[in-house]
């Protein structure tokens, strides 16, 4: 599902009182397939790259 469409649908359901809050809608509708966390061992590399990006 495209993210914009999903966001619009969630906002509509909240407006229609199908969910009491954004947090409740998110908990009911969003499924996390995988969570990616930065590798703390590569902190210096991330800082260097971020400095170039800024």
Are 7 and 30 spatial neighbours (Cβ–Cβ below 8 Å)?
no
pLDDT bucket at 3, cuts 50 / 70 / 90: confident
pLDDT of 1 reads 55
Where are the extended beta strands (E) located within the chain?
none
Q: Give tens-digit pLDDT for 14-42.
A: 999 999 999 999 899 888 889 999 999 99
Residue 28 neighbours by CB under 8 Å, 6+ apart: 19
* pTM across the whole model: 0.52
What is the domain range of residue 29? 3-53
Q: Phi, psi at residue 34, to the nearest 5°?
A: -160, 150
**3 CB-side CA count, 13 A:** 0
Number of folded domains that form the chain? 1
């Amino acid at each position: 599902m495209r993210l914009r469409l999903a966001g619009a649908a969630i906002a509509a359901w909240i407006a229609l009182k199908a969910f009491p809050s954004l947090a409740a809608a998110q908990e009911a509708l969003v499924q996390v397939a995988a969570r990616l966390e930065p590798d703390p061992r590569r902190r210096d590399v991330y800082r260097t790259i971020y400095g170039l990006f800024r």
